[in-house]
Amino acid sequence: MKTSFEKIGDVIAAIGSDRFPQALSRAIQLVSPFDYCVIFGYYGTAQPLDLYDTFPASKRQIFVENYQAGPYLLDPFYLACTTRLASGLYRLKDIAPDRFLQGEYFRNYYVQTGLAEEIGYFVNLDDGVSIVVSLMCANKVFSAKDFRDLNQFLPVVKSSIEKNWPDLSARFEGKADANDQGKGTIRLERAFLKFGEDILTPREREIAVLIAQSHSSKEVAGRLNISIKTAENHRANLMRKLGVRDVAGLVRFVVRQGLVDPAAMEAILETYEKKVGPHLGARVVARAWADEGFRARLLSDANAAMAELGISGRQGEHVVAVANTDTTHNMVVCTLCSCYPWPLLGIPPAWYKSDAYRSRAVREPRKVLADFGVTLPEAQAVRVWDSTAEVRYLVVPMRPAGAEGWGEERLQKLVTRDSMIGTGLPRRAEDLA
């Protein structure tokens, strides 16, 4: 195995050649291991250039093609580049807005990546282009030592990138507006001006832009030097004027005004709202309740059984179905991060990702269940399943008494999200009678 100094030599030797991105990625990998690397070039409001990536074919659609189609416009890394964030190493969570996890970009796009953490080297070039070398981990976060080591490697990354891509702006072929450079919110502002100039006040337009980028009222207030109450009043007023009820509606409004390709963003929104979520998991469970043959196939090979219903994992993960019985109750956790069968269950709840749940679910599952209002007979053992990036678990709860002979559509109404995680039980049949 080559030493870090030998890898640096490989990077230097590869400058100016097609081998450079790979040599750089391999050198960084020696400093701190990661699962995926992608190098994007950003220039004004133009679509990012994929300069290099290590994604397998099954992942590239999500990480590159879907991203370039529109979601990048709400990506904190992209927004940081358009404001010319100083060259350096940054964690995504450190530059993201305070409501990033509740924002539309995260909920409707980023969750599809299944990443535990992403950090990036930012390098600003003299021609106005910003390069971001994104390092991604699926099952762990970068430790403080990892970050320190990677940060010490920054001079190598920065100087080699500057020498390898001295005139990258020419590759954008006029796609970016030179006047947009350094204006991270320009397309958002134009979107609201396009329709809102006669409806929204200048302050309301400012706030609309920040809300669309996932900033909370508190953060909006701090950025604009106004009170939180004032920010909330402006938020309520602008949403009323635009005829939208929530942030998703606000994002759709922006899409309609030309911020991103409507088809691209609407496809992402539709995927979350209609094509994935607990209703799909409920459909699988209901079929298992109603059809013993399907139940047997589901427990033997969940992916094959779900394919019968036209349902598949969208991240390439393998799904394992585990059934509750009179003697065993199953519960799912991810002790490393938040691996979760989101196509079947939707976005994981906040508590699923919390340190408290991840640690206590393993140590004291009965107490955790009690916290959720679930009390099991002492004779019923609790088995905890630990999800990974490769394997996700679906709990098949026991069919409630009194639901015998029900059709699948009616049975689906008894299935809850938490019952498919194992932290809850299905609804009672009498509740739907």
Bridge partners (DSSP) of residue 394 are: 321
Q: Dihedral sign for Cα 406, 407, 410, 416, please.
A: positive
Rg (alpha carbons) of the chain, rounded to whole number: 24
First to last CA, the chain: 67
Annotate 7-72 with three-state secondary structure. HHHHHHHHCCCCCHHHHHHHHHHHHCCCCEEEEEEECCCCCCEEEEECCCHHHHHHHHHHHHCCHH
| Active-site residue (options: 217, 337, 387, 419) | 337
Contact 66, 109 (CB under 8 A): yes
| Active-site residue (options: 37, 81, 137, 334) | 334
Contact 254, 191 (CB under 8 A): yes
CA 223 to each of CA 74, 212, 219, 231, 283: distance values in angstroms, whole numbers, following the listed order = 18, 15, 6, 10, 45
User: Which amino acid type is present at position 9?
Assistant: G
What phi and psi, each to the nearest 5 degrees, are found at residue 392?
-120, 150
Tell me whether residue 300 is one of the annotated catalytic residues.
Answer: no
Contact 58, 316 (CB under 8 A): yes
Three-state DSSP class for residue 106: helix
| Active-site residue (options: 134, 160, 214, 338) | 338
Taking every pair of Cα atoms in the chain, the longest distance, rounded to a whole number of angstroms, is 74
Report the distance separating Cα 44 and Cα 39, nearest Å. 17
Tell me whether residue 338 is one of the annotated catalytic residues.
Answer: yes
Which among 57, 58, 48, 52 has a CA at the least distance from the CA of 37?
Answer: 52
Tell me whether residue 334 is one of the annotated catalytic residues.
Answer: yes
For tokens 């920054």, name the residue: 154
Q: What length does the chain have?
A: 433
Return all residues near 430 (Cβ < 8 A) that are at least 6 apart.
Answer: 402
Tell me whether residue 37 is one of the annotated catalytic residues.
Answer: no
| Active-site residue (options: 37, 81, 137, 339) | 339
CA 15 to each of CA 9, 12, 24, 88, 182: distance values in angstroms, whole numbers, following the listed order = 10, 5, 9, 20, 28
| Residue 168 burial class via C-beta count within 10 angstroms: exposed 0-12, middle 13-18, buried 19 and up | buried
Mind telling me the catalytic residues? Answer: 334, 337-339
